[in-house]
A and B are shown apart, each in its own frame.
Chain A
Amino acid sequence: MKGRMIGAFAGLAGLAAGGFATATALRAQEAPTDIKIGTLYASSGRYASISMPVHYGLKLWIDQKNAEGGMYVKAYDKKLPIKLVAYDDQSNTATAATLYNQLITQDKVDLLVADSGSVLTSVAVPIARDRKMFLFDQTGTGAAFFTKDNPYIALMSDPASTIWPKPLADFLSYDGPNLGIKRVAILYATNEFTGTQANAVKKFLKDAGDKVEIVFDQGVPTETSNYTVLINNIRAANPDAVLHLGYAPNDIAFLRNLQDNGIKFKMLFCIYPGLETELLEKNVGEKGLQYVYTYVPASEIKYDVNFGMNLDQFKDAWKKKYTDGKVEFGFNSVAGYTTGLVMEKAMSVATSMDQLEIRRAVFSLSGNLKTLDGTFALDETGGQTGELMPLGQLVPDKDGHIHFVSLYPHENANGKPVYPRP
């Protein structure tokens, strides 16, 4: 009896071992030679200055991983080299749509990553959804991207536009009246990103009980490159605070036109002096950025990390890799690298390469992954809720060099607002 039992155990062990060996062999057999990541970038056009830093950030992560022998992919239980398939959409949405389709149907990429910004992401969202391909949305924050019936998207690196401007709106509603801010002008570029932010600001102001009055509210095409007349019109409305919501080229033109006209608003908020400070400094100069209110992005805050490089390490790696200075370091470079980290962590969790399993793996990181971009947290629609950006102000030191002062929410504040600007 005992002998039969031992024999049975031996048989079972043999079967198990055989099964394990077969499974391992199958896995090894099934494992591809590499993991294909497909993405787009804009080397020219309106969105080049926000796309190239993101792309370079992602490439930095890929090169690092490949230098280490690849990325661990749990589905194959081994490290695989990463192959980047990247096309240039030249900031053109029609080109981008064709190329996203090509990445999925011709190149058959394993992971699909959107180009930077809401405009170039907007065409990826329906394509990814139709093709049942999970979209790693790097910085596309448009409100319409995130719906309960679309499981094929998650936002990697910045908050959805619907919640992004909350610190700004709350500052105006709750701190503004005490400072003397009663009249607000809003000028925005009519695209998914800044259009949504403008609507969100108005909604937050209304929800707070209309403590400030909107005296100017106008949208302009994203391609606008001259604001002289608009600035004059805003001045005629006599606002206490001016919110200019546009992409980097819009902010550059707006701030330069302000300087050229010798006009100083008592409070001026722009998005990109915070997000792409280096780029804005090159174009507007430090003087033109003094006392501008903006978001304080991850490229300015040293978050504790539990995965990947911290901000200082990333900055050093960036400067070492990209020495020509043609692509500036800033929020978007951090965003590209963060996308890589999320993919790496998700691949170490996903048990298969099925796109819904990849989604499950990405969502399982929510609240647990802490990168140099802050805490990665998603809501049920895939919108980012963890990497919120406080409101800050660029204040000059005694040498005239600007630095960030965080103002709102108060728990993140490290200084007081300078209002009205000197």
Chain B
Amino acid sequence: MLAYTLFAGILFGLYFSLVGLGLNLVFGVMRIVNLAHGDFLMLGAYLAFWLYTLSEVNPVAVIPLAFALFVLIGLPLYYILVPRLLAANDPEMLSIILFFGLSQVIEALAGIVFGRSERSIPGGELGRALAGFVNLFPGAKMESGPVEIFGQTFPAAWVVAGLASLLAVLCLYVYLYRTRLGALTRAVMADREEALSTGIDTHRVSAIAFAIGIALAAIGGVFAPFMLGSITPAMGVEATVTSFAVIVIGSLGNPLGTVLGGIVYGVSYMLMQSYLSSWANLLPYLLLIAILLVRPSGLLGRQVRLA
């Protein structure tokens, strides 16, 4: 039982790493808190649901589409909202208010368009995608359905979401450390004023980071019907809170910290469910308080907030 709980916690946590990754990137680059992060996740979830309902598009195939679409949404949204925000005296605080308002608007509009009831995509779809991928390799034979890892059986959706999360982290690292734009992004993350004074177009760099941030949220949303039971227009708030806990645990502004934060959250959550189930949903808040008291910069933090 303990082994299963731990493995499940790691897989579950990897998914929440993906969920928190975009929020962390946006905070790291712009020092603003995107409280509508979970609502972009919700929109990604409805995109996957809508395409599946319309023509049974497998959610895995929706991932590149969701990424492209939300990058295209994110770029103009950045220029509409963020530059004025960054020019304010206290952009961090104002961002909370502004994005809370945006969150409410997105939720209300989604409710009107999609209805308020729970919606899902059949659980076997990700299993089919995984089996289809594995069977591409010569000699491989895998049936769609639960996946066995070290003698323990897990839903295929968890494995696919975990792999997608690792891939997203890898891509983000390649972007940040192997591309010129990534280097510029890191420069802005380190010191926005200094980056500006060296001639870096900080708004262009930030806009791309913002767009990638919400696109990552949307990719997390594609997996939400499988990881969170079902989707509703109101699911964004809870996703934002959990994401926030994950990135604070790991450390604000550090993508690798988000992975660690996600795994700590996932394992702790599953342990709570197994041994103290009634209190499991208090976990994000308990971890937040504990981390802020013991190590305010997060597990992998280097005093980012004080830099």
Measured CB to CB, the residues of A under 8 A from B are 43-46, 48-49, 52, 90-91, 190, 218-221, 223-226, 228-230, 232-233, 236, 248-250, 252-254, 256-257, 259-262, 279, 282-285, 324-328
Further pairs besides A46-B234, A90-B234: 18, Cβ < 8 Å: A43-B111, A44-B111, A44-B116, A44-B233, A45-B232, A48-B116, A221-B279, A221-B280, A226-B12, A226-B228, A228-B155, A229-B270, A249-B230, A256-B230, A260-B127, A326-B116, A327-B115, A328-B117
CA distance A250 to B228 in the complex (A): 10
B277 CB contacts on chain A under 8 angstroms? 218-220, 230
B78 CB contacts on chain A under 8 angstroms? none
Residues A260 and B146 in contact, CB atoms below 8 Å apart: yes
B199 CB contacts on chain A under 8 angstroms? none
CA distance A48 to B115 in the complex (A): 10
A228 CB contacts on chain B under 8 angstroms? 8, 12, 154-155, 158
A236-B1, A285-B122 in contact; A260/B117 too (CB < 8 A)? no
**A400 CB, nearest partner CB in chain B, Å:** 15
Q: Does B191 contact A (CB under 8 A)?
A: no
CA distance A200 to B73 in the complex (A): 51
Q: Is the interface of A mostly helix, strand, loop or mixed?
A: helix
Residues A260 and B156 in contact, CB atoms below 8 Å apart: yes
Residues B280 and A249 in contact, CB atoms below 8 Å apart: no
Q: Does B50 contact A (CB under 8 A)?
A: no
Q: What are some 13 contacts across the A-B interface (CB < 8 A)?
A: A46-B234, A52-B116, A91-B234, A221-B281, A228-B155, A257-B229, A259-B123, A260-B155, A261-B153, A261-B154, A262-B146, A279-B117, A279-B118
A225-B229, A260-B155, A261-B155 in contact; A232/B116 too (CB < 8 A)? no
CA distance A233 to B280 in the complex (A): 15
- Please tell me which one of the listed residues B5, B12, B120, B227 contacts residue A252 in the complex, with CB atoms under 8 A apart: B120
CA distance A233 to B3 in the complex (A): 11
- Please tell me which one of the listed residues B115, B116, B228 contacts residue A225 in the complex, with CB atoms under 8 A apart: B228
Residues B278 and A284 in contact, CB atoms below 8 Å apart: no
Residues A49 and B118 in contact, CB atoms below 8 Å apart: yes
A90 CB contacts on chain B under 8 angstroms? 234
Which residues of B268-283 are within 8 A (CB) of A? Answer: 270, 273-274, 277-281
Which residues of B50-106 are within 8 A (CB) of A? Answer: none
CA distance A254 to B155 in the complex (A): 13
| Cβ-closest chain B residue relative to A262 | B146
B119 CB contacts on chain A under 8 angstroms? 282-283
**A115 CB, nearest partner CB in chain B, Å:** 13
Residues B116 and A226 in contact, CB atoms below 8 Å apart: no
CA distance A46 to B228 in the complex (A): 13
Closest 3 CB pairs of A and B: A253-B229, A326-B115, A260-B155
**A193 CB, nearest partner CB in chain B, Å:** 16
| Cβ-closest chain B residue relative to A326 | B115
| Cβ-closest chain B residue relative to A187 | B277
Task: Count contacts on B: residues with CB < 8 A to the other chain.
Answer: 44
- Please tell me which one of the listed residues A44, A190, A248, A285 contacts residue B107 in the complex, with CB atoms under 8 A apart: A44
Residues A252 and B118 in contact, CB atoms below 8 Å apart: yes
B273 CB contacts on chain A under 8 angstroms? 220, 224, 229-230
**A256 CB, nearest partner CB in chain B, Å:** 5
Residues B155 and A249 in contact, CB atoms below 8 Å apart: no
| Cβ-closest chain B residue relative to A252 | B230
**A287 CB, nearest partner CB in chain B, Å:** 9
- Please tell me which one of the listed residues B111, B157, B232, B279 contacts residue A260 in the complex, with CB atoms under 8 A apart: B157
B127 CB contacts on chain A under 8 angstroms? 260
A230-B273, A252-B229, A283-B119 in contact; A257/B155 too (CB < 8 A)? yes
A328 CB contacts on chain B under 8 angstroms? 117
Measured CB to CB, the residues of B under 8 A from A are 1, 4-5, 8-9, 12, 107, 111, 114-120, 122-124, 127, 145-146, 153-158, 226-230, 232-234, 238, 270, 273-274, 277-281
CA distance A195 to B182 in the complex (A): 52
CA distance A66 to B227 in the complex (A): 45
**B55 CB, nearest partner CB in chain A, Å:** 17
Residues A44 and B238 in contact, CB atoms below 8 Å apart: no
**B242 CB, nearest partner CB in chain A, Å:** 11
| Cβ-closest chain B residue relative to A48 | B116
CA distance A132 to B111 in the complex (A): 35
CA distance A257 to B279 in the complex (A): 21
| Cβ-closest chain B residue relative to A41 | B116
A226 CB contacts on chain B under 8 angstroms? 12, 227-229
B5 CB contacts on chain A under 8 angstroms? 229, 232
CA distance A228 to B229 in the complex (A): 10
A325 CB contacts on chain B under 8 angstroms? 115
| Cβ-closest chain A residue relative to B126 | A260
CA distance A250 to B158 in the complex (A): 19
**A93 CB, nearest partner CB in chain B, Å:** 15
Residues B4 and A229 in contact, CB atoms below 8 Å apart: yes
| Cβ-closest chain A residue relative to B114 | A326
Which residue, of B114, B127, B230, has the highest number of chain A Cβ atoms within 10 A?
Answer: B230
A229-B273, A233-B1, A252-B230 in contact; A283/B120 too (CB < 8 A)? yes
**B218 CB, nearest partner CB in chain A, Å:** 19
A43-B116, A44-B111, A224-B281 in contact; A260/B234 too (CB < 8 A)? no
CA distance A260 to B9 in the complex (A): 16
B280 CB contacts on chain A under 8 angstroms? 220-221, 224
- Please tell me which one of the listed residues B115, B153, B156, B229 contacts residue A249 in the complex, with CB atoms under 8 A apart: B229
Residues B117 and A49 in contact, CB atoms below 8 Å apart: yes
CA distance A232 to B3 in the complex (A): 11
CA distance A335 to B8 in the complex (A): 40
- Please tell me which one of the listed residues A223, A249, A282 contacts residue B281 in the complex, with CB atoms under 8 A apart: A223
CA distance A260 to B155 in the complex (A): 5
**B231 CB, nearest partner CB in chain A, Å:** 10
- Please tell me which one of the listed residues B120, B145, B227, B279 contacts residue A284 in the complex, with CB atoms under 8 A apart: B120
**B282 CB, nearest partner CB in chain A, Å:** 8
A230-B277, A261-B153 in contact; A44/B234 too (CB < 8 A)? yes
Which residue, of A226, A252, A279, A327, has the highest number of chain B Cβ atoms within 10 A?
Answer: A226
Residues B278 and A221 in contact, CB atoms below 8 Å apart: yes
CA distance A45 to B156 in the complex (A): 28
**A345 CB, nearest partner CB in chain B, Å:** 30
**B116 CB, nearest partner CB in chain A, Å:** 4
Residues A232 and B123 in contact, CB atoms below 8 Å apart: no
**A403 CB, nearest partner CB in chain B, Å:** 21
CA distance A285 to B120 in the complex (A): 10
